[in-house]
Structure 1
């Protein structure tokens, strides 16, 4: 909820827990491409040797919200259940949008787009952090995470959260 990625040791413990308890981990990886410090973190799914991670992503955050197109990478054991559910639900995304997005990916445009957006968002994020420090520094402590498209700001003063809202 705070937009902080799990460290390597905690990621391995989570995967070990899922395997030991027959649990599933849902990895919502909607903004992992926006890493500003260091290398992008590998998806938890890529480290999942026991096939316990359901990986979800969205092109709506990476391209534009109106696209409303996401995807799942589902463990083999869950494919029949997900296929049955998908068969009951109506397809809410137009096939033309899906095909256009697939072509966009195949032609390498998505990779170039992400590189450009990462640079732009790095600059914008810096401006926002600087503005918050300059204008709200006495009230807010901004935690600069290594990535993501959100910022975490903590109140420096003891005040009711409802009053702030």
Structure 2
């Protein structure tokens, strides 16, 4: 696949340092044959395996003990990277930092309350009081992209 070729070339340039490759190549566009628009992926490697995760399938990211847990509907992946680094990459992809520990995919929010949000899988995440106003603005801007029935 094309993204693998680019990732391998970067790994060779960086001496096989996958985390350097992850930061530089974390968002990879791959043309999906059944869809006219490209699907974007987050690519990372743990000690033994290489993972390619569609960005739109990510529910939220959680910072915990110097690791980031990436939550999808089917699995949780632990990545050794800061939430700030991922925020810098994903903020333009529809993600917002609602709390010091959470970066949430706005597309998966089904209910936003005063103190928390509910995701389409039923999980609830707390919203920081300091981030509430900015979150509401970001959510409204995100919603404005869609047509209402």
Q: Taking structure 1 as the reference length, what is the TM-score of the superposition? A: 0.24
Specify which structure has the higher proportion of strand.
2
Larger Rg computed on CA atoms:
1
Name the structure, 1 or 2, with higher relative contact order (CA <8 Å, separation 6+). Answer: 1
